[in-house]
Structure 1
């Protein structure tokens, strides 16, 4: 946690209320997001108990599994979930707009918007990933040889949920977001990060009830119980309250099992009771998610949010195209090239997000200034200078009086955001001098502007600051650069898994396995492992086939 974050939490404790951690909203919020509040069976993370889902605050769809141990009822739950989500996904996939051609891209279609899925907390987000992994490979009733067939739309639902869960790992993405993550990005509370995962407690700090401070409201949400002994604010994201499980839910399920065994009209009554109980645990969290959306909508949207949402729309469009083209589901394990591309893309997205948030939000920039990664102040002098060479170009020296201490050596690159410019103005740090005699430490920082002034001998208007102007220079780039290009999949060396998906003949011979790596490349130490070629005298051995992925508990629901 940064110094600014620690200070904000301390202020929240002292003031009894959450402190703003941002002046603008750094994440996109759709006009009609799909809110999804799941509930799982205690001790069975993959066994759904129920869910509330929908786009209307007052009219959610309630899905309940009255007996989570029944495979058919669980599949019916997923079919109901698919019945809500897939029509919405199809509608967003059909509405497109045309992106004009550029120098590097032909005219293409992109979805005009994308479906946004909002869950209560990070545990619920992980449940979405688990459901996607566990359902996208299932065989449907259309397959006569399937031992336990599922309804037709379930595997398609799994593919979409897997894409959303994977996209959620990209910093700044808003296709699938957890409400607790959204709120903690914009407010700092007086409790721990783990306690912030309880949505009711988090909202207690941000917007406490009349007569309560943040700590009291959070404690009431976490531990407060009604006359029946049940929590006033059940977690439901997707955990359940043990008291509810033991006192209420277990007897109701036992009555449902008895009614099914006996048959008759008692089954419907017993099922209705389970539905009522599950709905009572889901509704408080459902209302809390919408309350959090109301609080977030009060913040103005940051300038770069629309750009990041457009990247989400491109991701949504790409997955739609893969599904409509009949491509197979996402693999359980990525090949070397795909894994490296994902990692590089997420690193680039994180650098881009950090820079954009600092440029959009003075509070975020203050943290970078405190760390010495930027400085802001008033221009006190501008000296015109020119580069050497046949065609001298303007290289003015700008001196800034600032209270920030730049953590950079002379010669370091610096950048300044210029209004209405497509990219940041480049500069170079020349000197840093301390000023004595004032009540606070002050520094005179001199930079040489090296770009963004046009191609003439005279800088274009507005490109060079004037004395008295307030400016901010950063030592981080405003536009994140991607890493070096990776080799084509066909050029992947055998030390990294060989050409992914390439067919291997029975007699395919390769270099022998590395020493100390049983089984060959598949068991080696990864990209950092040594790859010393085998001696010429070592005989070639048949290349072992890839072992199938081990079956884990996540593969079954």
Structure 2
């Protein structure tokens, strides 16, 4: 937890209500996201028990498993989930396309991506683990032979694995945990472990009228009224469920079993419905925040990856391997590190509250423009060809730890490169003067006057930082260029018969 979040949590603890950590929303929210609230059988990692799923907040689809230990019933559950999720994915895939380009110069290539990508929302990080494990247990299944399953089972497994893989990248909005999204935008007066409880977290953020967040969160600790958000169930409910399943198994005749099944469905729905409603309440609260400027760019990349994977399934269709090979794992780790650094920088550029943390660490500073030299030039590489390099002078109240020669950028003018020429620290309480040279960003003009808005005005408060979301290049070669010293290009994964026979337990 950084300093800003710590202070916000202390203030929330004192006031009893959540404190905003951001001024904008840093995650994408689809107009009709697919919400999944799963439950698993107690004591089992991924034995599906039930789920509420769909895109309609008022009419969730209920999926239940009569015999959670029976693999046939488990795969039947997956088929029914596929009947809901796969058409949603196809609907996004059939959306109109937009052109985009990849590469530069002679390597530039025009492609198309769908205008919409699916978004899967689960209550917490346990839901993401559930999606990952369910994908692993289904994507390698054979559709013919002694262990065959429906065609939709491995297809759904491939998509679930793809969602889970992308969820590890902080800049992706394809699979999101509601608790993680809310905690990134609000600070509460409770511990991070308590923030993992969706009912308590939303109690702090959006309490009923006349109640404080702290009061609401304490009331929502009762599992009888606010059941866990899954995938794990409440131990007291587990005992009730065991009795209901026993009655179902021993019920005389079809009518007796149907009555017992309706009772089980009723109890399971009652366990998940509060979480389902909380999910849509969280979506509404997040939608109240305006989206940050870089959110659209990140979503465009999600749409690009979605289009590419959908095309891959059409052309090749092989499932993801059980384990990454060494080269793939190294490349994936590098991409994740780059994505984290880029995401952190983009959030700071979009949000002054996030940028404030960088000011505390010395990676940014804010000051008032007290002077500017619009006509300033410096000698160019060729005699008689001076370069236009205007300067602005800032007065900063807080210390500036950056030295002369540091390259910086202003989030308000991200396309403009700048460089610190001089830092003058005055006496105690007198502040700091910073002289900054601007090295472009004037709409391709090479001499004054500067186009309106491209040069900071006198009296304007501006922020400069050394972080840059555009300077995150990959340092690893393409997979097909892996040198022989590292085993050469890895071979494509080929599923085996043993993969299809993996016991689901």
The question of a shared fold, defined as TM-score above 0.5 by the shorter chain, is answered with: yes
Q: Does residue 556 of the first structure (1) align with residue 495 of the second (2)? A: no
315-324 vs 401-410, greater mean Cα deviation: 401-410
28-37 vs 99-108, greater mean Cα deviation: 99-108
CA RMSD of aligned residues (A): 2.4
| Pick aligned residue for 1:326 from 305, 312, 316 | 316
Deviation at 1:49, TM superposition (A): 0.5
Deviation at 1:460, TM superposition (A): 2.9
Q: Determine the C-alpha separation between the residues in 2 that align with 1:426 and 1:549.
A: 57
Report if the CA contact (8 A) 1:351-1:480 is conserved. Answer: no
**Structure 1 pair 210–466 and aligned structure 2 pair: CA distance change class (3 A):** closer
Q: Determine the C-alpha separation between the residues in 2 that align with 1:472 and 1:201.
A: 37
Q: Does residue 72 of the first structure (1) align with residue 62 of the second (2)? A: no
Deviation at 1:352, TM superposition (A): 2.0
TM-score (norm 1): 0.84
| Pick aligned residue for 1:291 from 270, 281, 297 | 281
Map 1:67-466 onto structure 2 (within 5 A): 67-99=67-99, 104-140=107-143, 143=144, 145-146=145-146, 148-222=147-221, 224=222, 231-246=224-239, 248-259=240-251, 263-383=253-373, 384-389=375-380, 390=383, 391-419=385-413, 423-436=414-427, 438=429, 442-453=431-442, 454=444, 456-458=446-448, 460-462=450-452, 463-466=454-457
Deviation at 1:87, TM superposition (A): 1.1
TM-score (norm 2): 0.92
**Structure 1 pair 45–101 and aligned structure 2 pair: CA distance change class (3 A):** closer
Q: 1:245-270 CA distances to partner (integer Å, 9 max, x unpaired)?
A: 11x111001111223xx543222112
**Structure 1 pair 487–12 and aligned structure 2 pair: CA distance change class (3 A):** same
91-100 vs 485-494, greater mean Cα deviation: 485-494
The secondary structure found in structure 2 opposite 1:344 is: helix
Q: 1:184-218 CA distances to partner (integer Å, 9 max, x unpaired)?
A: 11100011111111000001111123343222211
Q: Does residue 48 of the first structure (1) align with residue 48 of the second (2)? A: yes
Q: Determine the C-alpha separation between the residues in 2 that align with 1:124 and 1:418.
A: 38
The secondary structure found in structure 2 opposite 1:234 is: coil
Deviation at 1:313, TM superposition (A): 0.3
Q: Determine the C-alpha separation between the residues in 1 that align with 2:288 and 2:502.
A: 39
**Structure 1 pair 196–488 and aligned structure 2 pair: CA distance change class (3 A):** closer
Larger radius of gyration: 1
Map 1:532-547 onto structure 2 (within 5 A): none
Q: Determine the C-alpha separation between the residues in 2 that align with 1:281 and 1:502.
A: 43
The secondary structure found in structure 2 opposite 1:431 is: strand
Q: Determine the C-alpha separation between the residues in 2 that align with 1:100 and 1:313.
A: 11
Report if the CA contact (8 A) 2:343-2:469 is conserved. Answer: no
Q: Which runs of 5+ in 1 are unaligned?
A: 226-230, 504-545
Map 1:5-84 onto structure 2 (within 5 A): 5-84=5-84
Q: Which runs of 5+ in 2 are unaligned?
A: none
**Structure 1 pair 398–549 and aligned structure 2 pair: CA distance change class (3 A):** farther
Q: 1:100-129 CA distances to partner (integer Å, 9 max, x unpaired)?
A: 567554332211201111110111111001
Aligned residues: 494
Deviation at 1:550, TM superposition (A): 11
Q: Determine the C-alpha separation between the residues in 2 that align with 1:298 and 1:214.
A: 18
Report if the CA contact (8 A) 1:394-1:459 is conserved. Answer: no
Q: Determine the C-alpha separation between the residues in 2 that align with 1:452 and 1:549.
A: 59
Deviation at 1:175, TM superposition (A): 0.8
170-179 vs 338-347, greater mean Cα deviation: 338-347
Report if the CA contact (8 A) 1:337-1:492 is conserved. Answer: no
The secondary structure found in structure 1 opposite 2:46 is: strand
